[in-house]
Amino acid sequence: MKLKNDIYIYEWTNPFENNCNSFFVGGNVNALIDPGLTGYVPDLLGKMSADGINKEDIRYVINTHSHPDHFEGSEVFDQEKVKVGLHTKEIEFLKGAGGELYSLFGINVPRMNVNFPLEEGDVVLGDQTFKIILAPGHSPGSIGLYWPEQKALFCGDVIFDQSVGRTDFPGGNGALLKKSIISFSELYLELILPGHMGIVSGRSNIQNNFNFIIQGIFPYI
């Protein structure tokens, strides 16, 4: 579904199974953010094609982190043609404890090399400049993908609508999660696009959400 401008949203609405929200940035960017579990990628591609976006249009797959419900589906994209991105810290994590998480869920780590290692700072996708913000806490190499032109933040599982990412998985860290959320709160934002649950839009709603989390949830992290 087209949300606004070139941002498309594919929200996960099945409460009985785990998977993430996926997003697509169209225009000249053509980036899929968090493809989700491999088993649900055909369904995602079907929804995208109803919006006029074909699999062949996708030039980038940007992963906010390596957890299976976000990253596993990266394996279905042809690495000769598609740049699959993950932060370098998360690539390392996936070789150890992050990979063991897959076996906990009874699935295999995708057999692929991430061909687009991400570092903090500006990254140019198509004709747009985005910012990679390292945001550990939910996982060691989680990122926020910030799009200054749209004042939009793809924040993965760092922060949600009135909630925050779990810190009890391997590599989780509550103190770091708080720091990451504070750094997100300092961005100029009009749109928060999280990995689960609904989006948060509008400056005052976003500010209220940060306030609620910092005052109401931080004491328990």
Question: Per rule CB under 5 A, is residue 157 in the interface with Zn ion?
Answer: yes
Question: Per rule CB under 5 A, is residue 72 in the interface with Zn ion?
Answer: no
Distance of closest approach, residue 12 Cβ to Zn ion, in angstroms: 9
Amino acid present at 98: G
Does residue 169 contact residue 67 with C-beta atoms inside 8 Å?
yes
Measured from the CB atom, the residue of 105 and 188 that comes closer to Zn ion is 105
Q: How many residues in the shown chain lie near Zn ion by CB under 5 A?
A: 4
Question: Per rule CB under 5 A, is residue 6 in the interface with Zn ion?
Answer: no
Nearest-angstrom CA–CA distance, 87 and 44: 23
Nearest-angstrom CA–CA distance, 214 and 87: 26
Question: Per rule CB under 5 A, is residue 34 in the interface with Zn ion?
Answer: no
Residues 6+ apart with CB under 8 A from 32: 22, 23, 24, 58, 60, 61, 62
Exposed, middle or buried, 14 (CB in 10 Å: 0-12/13-18/19+)? exposed
Region of 48-56, 61-69, 95-103, 200-208 interacting with Zn ion (CB under 5 A):
61-69
Measured from the CB atom, the residue of 26 and 137 that comes closer to Zn ion is 137
Distance of closest approach, residue 68 Cβ to Zn ion, in angstroms: 9
**What is the DSSP annotation of 80-149?**
TT-EEEEEHHHHHHHHTHHHHHHHHTT-PPP-S--SEEE-SEEEEETTEEEEEEE--SSSTT-EEEEEGG
Nearest-angstrom CA–CA distance, 122 and 26: 19
* Binding positions for Zn ion, 172-201, rule CB under 5 A: 195
Region of 68-76, 83-91, 99-107, 115-123 interacting with Zn ion (CB under 5 A):
68-76
Distance of closest approach, residue 34 Cβ to Zn ion, in angstroms: 8
Measured from the CB atom, the residue of 72 and 157 that comes closer to Zn ion is 157
Question: Per rule CB under 5 A, is residue 69 in the interface with Zn ion?
Answer: yes
Distance of closest approach, residue 188 Cβ to Zn ion, in angstroms: 25
Measured from the CB atom, the residue of 26 and 144 that comes closer to Zn ion is 144
Distance of closest approach, residue 170 Cβ to Zn ion, in angstroms: 14
Residues that bind Zn ion (CB under 5 A): 20, 69, 157, 195
